[in-house]
Amino acid sequence: MSVKEIETKKFVKNKFSEYYREHSSSIQPPTLIEKREFGFLMFKGRIMVRHKSFKNVDDLSKNLKTLVPSDAYYSSAYYERPEEKMEEKSWLGADLIFDIDADHIPTPCAKIHDTWVCNNCNIAGKGVLPEKCPACGEPRFNEKTWPCEVCLESAKIETLKLMDMLKQDFGFSSKETNLYFSGHRGYHLHVESEEVQSLDSMARKEIVDYIIGIGLETKLHGLVEERGARKARVLTGPNLEDPGWSGRIARGTYEFLLTATPSDLEEIRLKRKVIDTLTQHKETNLEKWKEKGPWGIIKGVDTASWRKIAQHGAEMQSAKIDTVVTTDTHRLIRLNNTLHGKTGLKKIEVPVTGFESFDPFKSAIAFKEGTLKIIVQDAPKFRLGDQTYGPYKNRQVELPTAAALLLLCKGRAKVKEEK
Amino acid sequence: MAKYPFTNEATEYAKELELKIEDISEPILNRAEHRIEEALLDAPVREQLVKEDVEISSFPVAVMMVASTADKLMKRRYALTEAKRAFNLLKEEKRDKILEVKNVFNWKIRPVDDKPPYKFALFFTDYLKNATRIQAKKWKLVNRIVLNGEVYLPKYDTVRLLQEEVRVHIEKKLDVKEKIALPQNVADRVERLKQAFTKQKGKIELEGFPKEVVISAFPPCIKHMYDGITSGHHLSHIGRFTLTAFLTNISMTTEEVVNLYRSLSDFKERLTRYQVEHIAGARGSRTKYIPPRCDTLRTHGVCTGMDEVCRSIRHPLAYYREKMRTIKVKAQ
Ligand code: SF4
Ligand SMILES: [Zn+2]
Ligand SMILES: [Zn+2]
């Protein structure tokens, strides 16, 4: 680390310290604080201090003030003895947590603002992180992402789909579900209800598969061939207003047929002839949804093709959540109203009713006063509050504190020497 | 009640009869012994009932007898057979009777009439607790109708889930830590059953039934990966290979190893099965692979924190053998 980088880090830490001194009263403790484990990622050495526990929110705030971590977490789990080693904590249950992060959603703009460098051979690329380095095959990278509006907008869409399933299918009330902006590139949804606390990770994995639609069989949702009159085979399928995934398959299929271009249809590997038929009969096809759906009505579209269409339609209805976060019953989750070390924004609760119009780049701003002089190496155009900044390339600028901190935290800028 | 002796009512009733282990009557002991025989020795399951009080009392007696053996496999087999017995009876029952049995387990369930072919709506957590133990696509939650927290089920599937619940319920009853002191005449019967079972088991083992896998004898690296996999974490290729080769070498079946990987989000049954069979030597070259040596694992970052035993060995399988030896010595 260069001298400049160390200085920058110190500077950011000082700012965080300021925040925790002034806002300690806004720290929101998790339910049953005394049964939770806390963990803090430190600025120095990026060490994680774990197995902490607090009797009340005052102790917690005090600790934040003295420790000044880059990130603060608590366990989704409740423990008898949260301060003990993992094996001796005695697990009592855990909230059900969902994480929707832009990292898991391929967006077109990722190619513009995200970059990665292979730790092993130093080759660099743009866009979503590959599983393995295309050059040397090693799986470790240094990644630079960006909390971009377009990406967060697609995370919002996934979150809305998730919320719909949790409400309609699982029957969770709005009292049991809390929605948060993570402070970086996504949303967290916490379900706190006695009924889900004791679920083991196998059961949670089933819920994950349900949300993502993994293992979904259209056959088991009524897309089947039946022998009709004169032994002709007719295909029947689910209807738009059917409950659960049956309805979702129908609605997804409808949406897909409504919006699909011939090349979309090609992409799911339909035969040329099938594509032509579907394109020609698009209107009548969509009309059929008023009755029993278009299944089997159109000549020239065989069962196998319908399955492909339905499967793809279903895929569009699924919500792209992070699988690991939900299945891990010992997970540490970011504490509400604390700062995110990668942005200097804070994790905040989002009102479920106003979610659609929620603006993370306004509501999550933690530092509202003053300006800072920084030297930006490289930053895309971005918005914070009502202002737009950048793009910058190797430039010295004076920015409002929040915007400057964002660039410093993201490693896109350094502090200017203070005289 | 006699049909479903695991229910609370039946337990209460047995208590009322004040069963004292010393003076259990001959017919009850006979029936209890028979129950166990059915379970352990593949004797045909008898559904016709003996006198009601005998039938009910014979169950707790049988449970006590099996529990006293401290034999895990025996316990599992017994619980499974009792659960299957219940399943066979329940699937012929009317809906009301099924709804009565569910009370025992505090299931949140209600009858459904307006959505054929569905007969029941079961709260999803009750569903998940049991369905995750059954393989097959239709048991995946995503392939069910889930509405407002309830899973809609036909009668057969509901009863199948009850079977799982019964099995676990009985397994818990069998899982007693304290030693059970039985009067001589009962102890003799248990001993006889045990011997017959061991003989039977020998046969089963030859037929490829797994010897017991002792997780507490896993080396740290394997334990780490094993725990990771069961909670849905992904493994590197070398990790997968090591874990699979290790498990097949300590005589886990392909089936069991495949099931282990099932919790991964990218699980592909056919592919996984192929890979496992390949490593187990059931395919192609027919060579059975063994896991890499410790130093190889170390360079690949698979070795996670050595412990005392690790220092004396160079191979994870050697660790397992060493640990098993000490476990057995302790047990004697
Ligand atoms: S020393 Fe060998 S057995 Fe022990 S943890 Fe490392 S790799 Fe595994
Ligand atoms: Zn590389
Ligand atoms: Zn973007």
> What's the Cα-to-Cα distance from B241 to each of A137, A326, B45, B217, B245, rounded to whole Å?
17, 26, 42, 19, 6
Q: What is the ipTM, given to two decimal places? A: 0.90
Residue having the nearest C-alpha atom to atom 6 of ligand 1: B303
User: Nearest 5°: phi and psi at B29?
Assistant: -60, -40
Question: Which band of pLDDT confidence, cut at 50, 70 and 90, is reported for residue A318?
Answer: very high
pLDDT score recorded for residue B227: 83
Which residues, other chains included, contact B124 with Cβ-Cβ below 8 Å and sequence gap of 6+? A170, B141, B146, B149, B150, B151
A59 counts as catalytic: no
Q: Which residues of B touch A244 (CB under 8 A)?
A: 144-147
Inter-chain contact A201–B148, Cβ cutoff 8 Å? no
Chain center to CA of A361: 16
Which DSSP category does B306 fall into? Answer: -
Q: Which residues of A touch B143 (CB under 8 A)?
A: 215-217, 220-221, 245
Inter-chain contact B148–A169, Cβ cutoff 8 Å? yes
Q: Cα separation of A364 and A340, whole Å?
A: 10
pLDDT score recorded for residue B256: 84
pLDDT (tens, 9 = 90+) of chain B, 332 residues, equals 567 777 666 556 555 555 566 677 788 888 888 888 887 776 655 555 567 777 777 888 888 888 888 777 788 888 888 888 888 888 888 888 888 877 778 899 999 998 888 999 999 999 999 998 887 788 999 999 999 999 999 999 999 999 989 888 888 888 877 777 778 888 888 888 888 887 776 654 444 334 577 888 899 999 989 888 876 677 778 888 999 999 988 888 888 888 888 767 677 888 888 888 888 887 766 677 889 988 888 877 788 777 888 888 889 999 998 888 887 766 55
> What's the Cα-to-Cα distance from A105 to each of A128, A257, B38, B265, rounded to whole Å?
9, 23, 55, 16
Which residues, other chains included, contact B36 with Cβ-Cβ below 8 Å and sequence gap of 6+? B62, B65, B66, B78, B193
pLDDT score recorded for residue B299: 77
**pTM value?**
0.78
As a CATH number, domain A218-317 is: 1.10.8
A378 counts as catalytic: no
Which has the closest alpha carbon to A103: A291, A342, A263, A272? Answer: A342
Q: Ligand nearest A150 Cα, by number?
A: 3
DSSP string, A368-412: -S-EEEEEEEEE--EEETTEEE--EEEEEEEEEHHHHHHHHHTTS
Domain positions in chain A are 3-99+153-207+323-366, 110-144, 218-317, 369-419
Tens of pLDDT, residues A45-99 = 889 999 999 999 999 999 999 999 999 999 999 999 999 988 899 999 999 999 9
Which has the closest alpha carbon to B132: A215, A149, A58? Answer: A215
Tens of pLDDT, residues A368-413 = 999 999 999 989 899 999 999 989 999 999 999 999 999 999 989 9
As a CATH number, domain A3-99+153-207+323-366 is: 3.90.920.10
Question: Which band of pLDDT confidence, cut at 50, 70 and 90, is reported for residue A10?
Answer: very high
Q: Does domain A369-419 have CATH number 3.40.5.50?
A: yes
pLDDT score recorded for residue B40: 77
Whose structure tokens read 């009777």?
B97
The residue type of A159 is T
The domains of chain B, with CATH numbers, are 8-204 (1.20.930), 215-331 (no CATH)
Contact A182, A349 (CB under 8 A): no
Q: Which residues of B touch A201 (CB under 8 A)?
A: 230-232, 263
pLDDT score recorded for residue B302: 84
> What's the Cα-to-Cα distance from B195 to each of B75, B199, B286, rounded to whole Å?
15, 6, 36
Query: What is the three-class DSSP state of B172?
Result: helix
Q: Give the CA angle between residues A90, A95, A99 to the nearest 5°.
A: 125
Q: Cα separation of B231 and B255, whole Å?
A: 18
Pocket of ligand 1 (CB under 6 A): B 219-221, 294, 297, 303-304, 306, 310, 316, 319
Residue having the nearest C-alpha atom to atom 2 of ligand 1: B294
Q: Cα separation of A103 and A116, whole Å?
A: 13
Q: Cα separation of A307 and A313, whole Å?
A: 10
Tens of pLDDT, residues A92-111 = 999 999 999 987 787 888 77
Q: Say how many C-beta atoms besides its own lie within 10 A of residue A362's C-beta.
A: 11
pLDDT score recorded for residue B208: 37
Inter-chain contact B142–A329, Cβ cutoff 8 Å? no
Question: Which band of pLDDT confidence, cut at 50, 70 and 90, is reported for residue A148?
Answer: confident
